[in-house]
Structure 1
Amino acid sequence: MRAEVVGAGGAEISLSVGGARHARPLVLVHGWAQSSHVWAAQFADPALAGRFRLIAMDLRGHGASDAPAGGYDDSRIWADDLAAVLEFAGPDPIVVAWSYGGLVLTDYLRVHGSAHIGGIVLAGALTEIGKGREGGRIGDAMRAAIPAALSADPEVAVPALTEFSTAMAAKPVPGPLAQALLGSCLSVPPSVRSAMFRRDVESAEVLAAIDKPCLIVHGTNDRVVAPAAAEYAAGKIPGAVLRWFVDAGHLPFVESAEEFNSVLRQFSGEQPK
């Protein structure tokens, strides 16, 4: 089912909600130029859906959420959007943040702290952004896509986004899913795609202050967010566990869905409720 919450500045943030109604929440945060639909394999897993309440947000400017003219370079706005989702979710959620979603999560932690979070999973995630930021190290597929993927000219952007969406996976994914990934890229306004990169965010102190259980999962063949970004986060977050998904790319929850869901169930089930 779909639901909405009111985020920063009155923007409506759209949610996909499933799973067990009164169970512990898993809040799923997607990445740049995607949507909540990337988590289809998690919503379809009866073992996850039977034990947890699944809540996947569409970031502002993405999917079915509002796309305000500005605010995409403001950490406070991203933080408050996620805060609204977590309030909807209820007590002690596990937050699963993928790709740019990891940056949104660090925005939240910087502004609101970790008191209302039960655990964190960073999946192929950025935790920083900006030139020389170790937590924002990108791979060759992301470097190749920029700046063309940010262009308002479809003759420039569409080929770049097509190549980028294909390069996200290191293992074959079903054709309809591959097209859906591209469709999500194209549905995000060029102004939003561009504005999200006009940031310089350092998160070393934020990561070092995390006092909740943290699991970091990353594909060894990720060409979008470099594996070095995962190593950086693991070195900063006290007690973080780093798990590599061998031969997977930027979509471990799709490419290795069964393994990913099993790891997620194990981690989430072990955290205090």
Structure 2
Amino acid sequence: MIRFDDQGSGPPIVLLPGLAATSRVFDGTVRDLSRDHRVITLELPGHGDRTDPADDTPATVSGAAGALHTLLDRLGVTEATLLGWSLGATVAYAYLERFGRKHVRALVSVDQSPRLVLDRDWPHAAFGALDEDGARDLARGVTADFAAFTANLVGGSFAAGTEPAAEAHGLLVSEALRCDPVAVRSLLADVTGQDWRERLPLVTSSLPTLFVHGARSRVYPTALGRWLGDTLPSARLEVFDSSGHLPFLEEPERFLRTVRAFTAHDKEPTP
């Protein structure tokens, strides 16, 4: 079974990390939210030094969603908010499509696109220009030179025009290198082949949903937030003006206020 942490008490919130990242990227988020929430974090398949070598969860989005369902069943969690960052958000979408609202009361999707590759009517691809050939090359690069892949991925995750704090940058790189390159490649190949543009409105129908996007994201540099706001008008959109792909690290205080306000459903988040 995929390893997890379970801290705090109160309304449950489940944190799902992104590709080539471990739950340690959420350390500061967990410390703060666990003061008044039950915070559960888990690793993606093949990710992190806490991953059980005996775990045979497929390194796919569906495999991760199934592992999440098994975990929530085991823990007896109900009425959880799923908070997925990047690929972790796609895992949350897949969970909702496969299992419905069982265990879930709300969704927070952090800087993720419903489709990661370009097509004729879709400009909101990863890095603004990832096409199908580029996606295949990117996946091959994971196992060809994992250190270079992770360095580029981490370096491009911070806001455009900024110099990342050495501590945050170092943590992301060191945790990325704890992941299994084969699992990372498998997950990347899987997610770049998926298209949630029509499916996302269906899985979030009547579900309280918050989209968080970084205005200076180099991973999703186009007007993706605007598309989400137009396509899912009942959802809430919060754009973080000083953030890239990592608003929970780049604007942590606002991120925590926003998540708390959303989970409480009692006031609007403040800038």
TM, length-normalised to structure 1: 0.81
Aligned to 2:240: 245
Q: How far is the alpha carbon of 1:238 from its aligned partner?
A: 5.2
2:229 alignment partner AA: A
Please say which of residues 119-128 and 254-263 is displaced more in the overlay.
Answer: 119-128
Percent identity between the two aligned chains: 24
Aligned to 2:23: 36
2:65 matches 1:79: yes
2:255 matches 1:266: no
Match of 2:219 among 224, 247, 250: 224
Contact 2:201 2:231 survives alignment (8 Å): yes
Aligned to 2:44: 59
Q: How far is the alpha carbon of 1:172 from its aligned partner?
A: 4.5
Match of 1:180 among 158, 171, 185: 171
Q: Using the alignment, how far apart are the partners of 1:89 and 1:227 within structure 2?
A: 40
Q: How far is the alpha carbon of 1:123 from its aligned partner?
A: 0.8
Q: Which runs of 5+ in 1 are unaligned?
A: 1-11
Contact 1:128 1:135 survives alignment (8 Å): no
Change (3 A) 1:41 1:142: farther
Q: Alignment partner of 2:177: what SS?
A: helix
Please say which of residues 227-236 and 120-129 is displaced more in the overlay.
Answer: 227-236
Match of 1:161 among 150, 175, 186: 150
Contact 2:216 2:243 survives alignment (8 Å): yes
Contact 1:149 1:158 survives alignment (8 Å): no
RMSD across aligned C-alpha pairs, in angstroms?
A: 2.8
Alignment of structure 1 residues 58-207 onto 2, 5 Å = 58-63=43-48, 64-66=50-52, 71-73=58-60, 75-87=61-73, 88=75, 90-132=77-119, 134=122, 137-139=125-127, 147=138, 150-153=141-144, 156-170=145-159, 171-199=162-190, 200-207=193-200
2:231 alignment partner AA: K
Q: How far is the alpha carbon of 1:41 from its aligned partner?
A: 1.5
Q: How far is the alpha carbon of 1:140 from its aligned partner?
A: 5.5
Change (3 A) 1:126 1:81: farther
Change (3 A) 1:167 1:230: same
Q: Using the alignment, how far apart are the partners of 1:141 and 1:55 within structure 2?
A: 34
Q: Which runs of 5+ in 2 are unaligned?
A: 267-271
TM, length-normalised to structure 2: 0.82
Q: Using the alignment, how far apart are the partners of 1:135 and 1:98 within structure 2?
A: 21
